[in-house]
Amino acid sequence: MKTWIKFCGTTSLDDALASIAAGADALGFIFAPSKRRITPESAQGIIEQLPSMVERVGVFLNASPEEIRRVVGLVELTGIQLHGNEVAVEVRQALPGNRSSLRIIKTIVMGNGMAKVATALAAGEAVDAWLLDSGAGSGQPFDWQAARAQMGERQGRLIIAGGLTPGNVGEAIRTFSPWGVDVVTGIEREPGHKDPKRLKAFVDAVRKAEQS
């Protein structure tokens, strides 16, 4: 199975094009407080110059459904990542009719003594994928083995994030066999600026792990 790869924290057209050239399936645009925050207008300016097949995911943190609707009206996104306390069904109901099919990704933050992953997956919230992360912009991996143990045999469309690098993403894939992986810090030369060599190394490591 080919692993979906999202490079998040896109802030410039050069970085977006480098990410695509390296093999990313999706780019993330952060509309929440962050060193990598981008305005909807700037994000749309980048997106207008990208190939249409590249997915564009807007990242939100504790945003109201009305605010998400406003941004979706300004930016040609293909997906939404909810990193806070947002309720997916409320967000989807708030979307304009012609955008109601946008992919919704819901984050489970694994810090603070480890989230109850199995409980979250069992809740069956109306999301298209769950993203397991160690916390916004932490750059540190969570305890993969503990998370795997908590999940038991329960399956879901999982995206692994938090502290991924070209050096450890293979282990993450072997541990979880996830649907996707999401990375920011591990592919940057400094916050908000991608490193083309790390982008390519990350994709290469993912593809190699898929064969093992």
State the chain's maximal CA–CA distance in angstroms: 45
Spatial CA neighbour of 65 closest among 86, 84, 83: 86
Catalytic residue among 8, 15, 25, 182: 8
The tokens describing 110, both together, are 């694994």
DSSP element (H, E) containing 103: strand 103-109
In the residue annotation, 182 being an active-site residue is answered as no
What one-character DSSP code corresponds to residue 184?
A: S
Q: Collect all residues with Cβ–Cβ distance below 8 Å to 98 and sequence separation of at least 6.
A: none
Whether the CB-CB separation of 163 and 199 falls below 8 Å is answered with: no
- Nearest 5°: the CA angle 60, 65, 67 is 65
d(Cα 81, Cα 59) in Å, to the nearest integer?
A: 5
In the residue annotation, 128 being an active-site residue is answered as yes
How remote is the C-alpha of 135 from its chain's centroid?
12
- Phi and psi dihedrals of 32, rounded to 5? -115, 165
Catalytic residue among 14, 15, 25, 128: 128
Residue numbers annotated as active site:
8, 128
